[in-house]
């Protein structure tokens, strides 16, 4: 495990998947995957691990057998940082950060891990990846340090299945998890003061934990500067980077089985979307203008009535 596969653009276009909307329509009904055998013909190339930052990019970085499952995870607001389908490892799997799950999803995962330990595996992020078949027996879940989850099947469990059928099979592992707010690289003020943002970084292997340079005495703006984080006053949250902030905002508005484009979500939610990121700046829409105009007219009317009432009261005291 450790590599994400990508597809050659020219081959991608030839096979009719150049339009992300076409792909979304095909994937919307899982049974339609079975009628798309050309998914198997996509040429792959190995790339470094990365976190998915947009739904439309899932088709570029998720391995073909995990494509549907990665899409479902994205829509649920769960971070996916690696997917694999390699004969050498005899594993077909997806990796996510355990610590980025909501409390509800953590409970669900722990139950699934007990029921199907061969499909749901947890390991300490600070150890080297390998065959994780025995990790559940040896791993102690520590909320204070980064833990990883591997969801998937061993190769022999998927024998005699087409890659489309493997998509459906792996996607079944994702369905028990619930929709949540995106939490990878997202921290409250209390999280930062307790140094969670440093403990949860992915570069802890053979490295000492960095100290927090802030305290309760610091303002949020000072904490943001001291810790190299992004602070949003609107959401009162700290973010590791622009990608984490964008995914967090998107998760507030994207629902499960929601195939809207990023641009469509931004328009519907009245938020700004620029250069591939959702921003917390509110966009004034036509509806807002109408509402503001109506409130303005109502305010003028109330002020006018109040002035007339004051005039009548004065007239009464003057004996008119």
Residues 93 and 206 in one domain: no
Q: What is the pLDDT of residues 24-67, one digit of tens each?
A: 444 444 444 444 433 333 334 344 445 678 887 777 777 778 88
Residues 147 and 74 in one domain: yes
State how many domains the chain has.
3
pLDDT recorded at residue 125: 61
Domain that residue 149 falls in: 4-171
In a domain, 255, yes or no: no
pLDDT recorded at residue 48: 41
For residue 133, CA distances in Å to 17, 29, 120, 147, 239 come to 36, 33, 10, 16, 34
pLDDT recorded at residue 44: 41
Residues 112 and 216 in one domain: no
In a domain, 270, yes or no: no
What tokens does 293 get? 């105009």
Closest CA to 69 of 36, 95, 104: 95
Residues 33 and 131 in one domain: yes
| SS3 state of residue 70 | helix
pTM across the whole model:
0.71
Last residue of a domain, one of 219, 240, 261: 240
Last residue of a domain, one of 210, 240, 270: 240
In a domain, 211, yes or no: yes
pLDDT recorded at residue 40: 35
- Nearest-5° angle of CA 35, CA 40, CA 46? 145
Residues 151 and 45 in one domain: yes
Residues 154 and 41 in one domain: yes
- Nearest-5° angle of CA 97, CA 233, CA 96? 5
Residues 152 and 32 in one domain: yes
In a domain, 235, yes or no: yes
pLDDT recorded at residue 235: 93
Residues 82 and 199 in one domain: no
Residues 231 and 112 in one domain: no
In a domain, 227, yes or no: yes
Last residue of a domain, one of 207, 240, 273: 240
- Host H or E run for residue 294: helix 286-317
What are the beta bridge partners of residue 186? 239
Residues 206 and 319 in one domain: no
Residues 23 and 83 in one domain: yes
Residues 16 and 165 in one domain: yes
Please give the average pLDDT of every successive group of 10 residues along the chain, which has 320 residues.
Answer: 37 39 46 42 42 76 82 91 70 86 95 89 61 51 80 76 83 94 96 91 60 94 95 94 94 88 91 90 54 63 71 66
Closest CA to 271 of 227, 222, 319, 234: 234
């Amino acid at each position: 495990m450790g590599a994400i596969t990508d597809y050659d653009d020219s081959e991608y276009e030839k096979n009719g998947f150049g339009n992300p909307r076409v792909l979304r329509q095909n994937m919307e009904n899982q049974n339609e995957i079975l009628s798309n055998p050309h998914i198997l013909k996509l040429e792959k190339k190995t790339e470094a691990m990365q976190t998915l930052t947009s739904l439309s990019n899932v088709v570029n970085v998720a391995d073909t057998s995990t494509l549907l499952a990665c899409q479902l995870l994205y829509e649920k607001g769960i971070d996916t940082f690696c997917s694999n389908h390699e004969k050498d490892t005899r594993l077909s799997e997806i990796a996510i950060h355990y610590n980025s799950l909501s409390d509800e999803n953590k409970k669900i995962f722990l139950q699934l891990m007990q029921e199907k330990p061969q499909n749901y595996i947890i390991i300490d992020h600070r150890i080297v990846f390998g065959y994780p078949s025995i990790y559940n027996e040896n791993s102690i879940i520590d909320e204070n340090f980064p833990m990883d989850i591997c969801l998937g099947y061993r190769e022999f469990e998927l024998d005699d299945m087409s890659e489309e059928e493997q998509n459906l099979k792996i996607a079944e592992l994702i369905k028990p998890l619930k929709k949540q707010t995106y939490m990878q690289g997202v921290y409250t003020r209390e999280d930062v003061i307790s140094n969670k943002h440093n403990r949860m970084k992915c570069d802890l292997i053979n490295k000492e934990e960095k100290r927090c340079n802030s305290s309760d005495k610091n303002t949020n703006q000072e904490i943001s500067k001291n810790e190299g984080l992004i602070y949003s006053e609107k959401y009162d949250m700290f973010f590791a980077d622009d990608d984490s902030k964008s995914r967090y905002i998107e998760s507030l508005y994207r629902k499960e089985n929601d195939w809207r484009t990023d641009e469509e979500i931004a328009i519907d939610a009245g938020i700004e979307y620029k250069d591939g990121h959702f921003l917390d700046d509110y966009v004034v829409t036509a509806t807002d203008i109408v509402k503001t105009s109506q409130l303005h007219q109502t305010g003028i009317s109330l002020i006018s009535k109040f002035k007339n009432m004051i005039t009548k009261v004065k007239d009464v005291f003057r004996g008119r």
